Structure 1
Amino acid sequence: MNLFVFGLGYSVRQFIGLYRDRFAEVGGTVRSPEKVRAIAGDGFQAYRFDGADFDPGILDRIARADALLVSIPPSGETDPVLEHFSQAIAAAPNLRWVGYLSTVGVYGDADGAWVDETTPPNPATVRSRHRIAAEGQWLALGQSAPFAVQVFRLAGIYGPGRNALVKIADGSAKRIVKKGQVFNRIHTADIAQVLMASIERPHRNAIYNVADDEPGPPQDVIAHAAELLGREPPPEVPFEDADQTPMARSFYSDNKRVRNTRIKTELGVVLRHPTYREGLKALLQAGDGITQAR
C-alpha cells in the first residue's frame, strides 16, 4: 500500500513513525526546499508544496497512492489541496482511502455539554468556519468518487516533546483557570491508531471525533504533570488576568465535552491513553520532562 500525505506536520510524522512498515511507499509535502532537505533520509520522500507552487512530482505520487492523508488547514475560504489537486485526486486509479484532519473546534461552544458527530457544527471563530467549509468540500468529493473520504475531528493534541511535562520542565507552564472550562485531549499515538484502523476498514463519508475519554479542566493537567515530576505546580491565574496570545485565548471560547464512541464502535479502537494521566505517565517513562530539565 502506498501513502501520500499533504502536510508532514507533527501528528502525521508520529503516525508514520508508528506505522511506516505497513506501507510500501510513503511520501508527503512540506512548505520549503529547506524542509525537503531537512527530512531527507527519514524513510520517505518529501515534496515542496507551499499552498501555491508545487513540485510536479506530487502528481505522480497521487496517481500511485492507495491512501491519501490531508493535514493542511484551509487558507481563508480555500482548501489549497483541493484547489490545486482535486482533479488529480479524483482521477487517481488506485486510491481507496482519503483522510482529512479537522478539529473539534467546529462544534463551537456547548457550554460544557456533550457533543458527538451528530451534533450540528456551530463554529465560534472564523478559523473553525473555514474548517467546516473544507470538510464539506472533501465529503462532497467523496460522494461521487470511487474512494472513501473520512473526516477526523481532533481534540487538543499532545505527544512526545509537546506536552505538559515539557512545559513544567522548561518553566513555560501556566495554570490558567476559567470557571467550568473543560477540554478533551488526544495523544498522537491514539490519533495514529485511529487513522490506521480507518485505512484498514474505510467507511464512506464518515466523520470521527478523535478525543480521549475524559474532558477536564486544563489546570488539572498542569498540576498532574508537576506532581509526576515532583515539582510545585505554577500558581493558578484567573483567565481574565492571563497573558495569552489571541490564538491561545480563542481556544477558551469553546467549552464542551466530546464523545468518542464512534471510533470504538466502527473502528474497534481501544485507546492506549484514555485520559491525560495515562498519556503523561507514558511520556514520563519515555523521558519527557526529564531530558528537558537537564
Structure 2
Amino acid sequence: MRLLAIGCGYSAKALAPRLIARGWEVRGTTRSADKADSLRSLGITPIVWPGEDLGPHIGWASHVLHSVSPDDGDMVLDTYGGALATADLAWFGYLSTTGVYGDHDGDWVDEDTPLAPSTRRGAARVRAEAGWQALQPLGLPLHIFRLAGIYGPGRGPFAKVRAGKARRIVKEGQVFSRIHVEDIATVLGASIDQPRPGAIYNVCDDDPAPPQDVIAHAADLLGVPRPDETPFEEADLSPMARSFYAESKRVRNDRIKDELGVDLRYPTYRHGLRTLLDKD
C-alpha cells in the first residue's frame, strides 16, 4: 500500500502516521525544501512540488490524497488530472470544504444539498469538485470529503486567549461546524478501508456552535475571564475573516457514521478543547 499525499499539510500529516504504522509507504509534497525535514520526521518521503515531476510518483502510488487549495484553477487537476484518472489507483481522496453549500441562515445541510457558494473560495471548490467528477468515467476512484472548520494541536484558541488577543465576535444566528484533525484522519482511514468511488462525505462533528461560545469555553478551561463580546457590525475584521461570517449553517455528518462506521473521538468542541488543553 502506497499513499501519495499531494499537498502534505495538516490533515495529511495526521493520516500518514496511522498508515505508516500499518506498513504503508507514504510520499508527500511540500512547496519548500526547508519543510522537508518535518515530513521525514513523520516517516514521509518528501517531494518538493511544484518543481519535481509527480508523474513517476503517481505511477508508484496505490492511493492518492489531494489537499491543494484551488485558486483560479486546480493546478493538480490541470497538470496531472489525466494521469491520475488513468493510473492504477484503488482510492483517490479530494479534500474540499463545507463552504460549497453557501449560506443557509443556520439551517441544516447534508451531502445532497444543492451547492450554492457565497464566497470566492467556495466557488473555486465547486469548480474543482466538478472537474474531478468529470474524470470519474475514465476510471478515477474519486472520494470527496467536505471538511468543516479544522482545529487540533497548534490550531486551538488557547494561545490567543492566554495572550488576551481572542475576541468573542457575536453575529445574531451565526453558527459554524468544526472537526478535529484526528477525526479527519479517522474518516479518511475508514474510507480507504471501505472505498466507494463517487462517494461524498461531510466531515464535521456533532455540535455546530456560535464562534463566541468556543472562545468562552476555552477561557473557562483556562480559568481566565471571558473576552468581552463584540458585535459583528463593530468588529474590525480583515476581508478574509469577515468572509467567514458570510455563511451560517449546520452540517450533518450521518453519512460518515452510517456508511463508514466512524465513531468520532471528539464529537463536540468541548471534548476537543479539553483534550488539547490536557496535552498542552
In the alignment, structure 1 residue 198 sits paired with structure 2 residue 194: no
Gaps of 5+ in 1: 288-294
Q: Distance in 1 between matches of 2:37 and 2:141?
A: 33
- Counterpart for residue 83 of structure 1: 78
Measured after TM superposition, the shift of residue 87 of structure 1 is 2.6
Quote how far apart the aligned CAs of 1:170 are.
3.1
2:57 alignment partner AA: R
Q: Deviations over 1:34-78 (max 9, x none)?
A: 22355444311111223xxx302x2222111111000001121x2
Correspondences of 1:1-294 after superposition (within 5 Å): 1-37=1-37, 39-50=39-50, 54-56=51-53, 58-76=54-72, 78-93=73-88, 95-145=89-139, 147-287=140-280
Secondary structure of 1:127's counterpart equals helix
CA distance in structure 2 between the partners assigned to 1:130 and 1:32 by the alignment: 24
May I ask how many residue pairs the two structures share in their alignment? 280
After TM superposition, give the deviation of residue 8 of structure 1 in Å. 1.2
Cα pair 1:139 1:150 within 8 Å, conserved: no
Letter of the 2:52 counterpart: D
Counterpart CA distance in 2 for 1:273 and 1:46 is 30
Q: Deviations over 1:77-122 (max 9, x none)?
A: x2100111123212323x1100000100110000111000000011
Give how far 1:138 is off: 1.2
User: Could you state the TM-score of these two structures normalised by the residue count of structure 2?
Assistant: 0.96
Extract unaligned runs of 5+ from structure 2: none
Q: One-letter code of the match for 1:55?
A: E
Q: Secondary structure at the match of 1:75?
A: coil
Percent pairwise identity? 52
**Aligned alpha-carbon RMSD (Å):** 1.4
- Structure 1 stretches of 4+ with a deviation exceeding 3 A read 37-42
CA-CA distance at 1:20 after TM superposition: 2.6
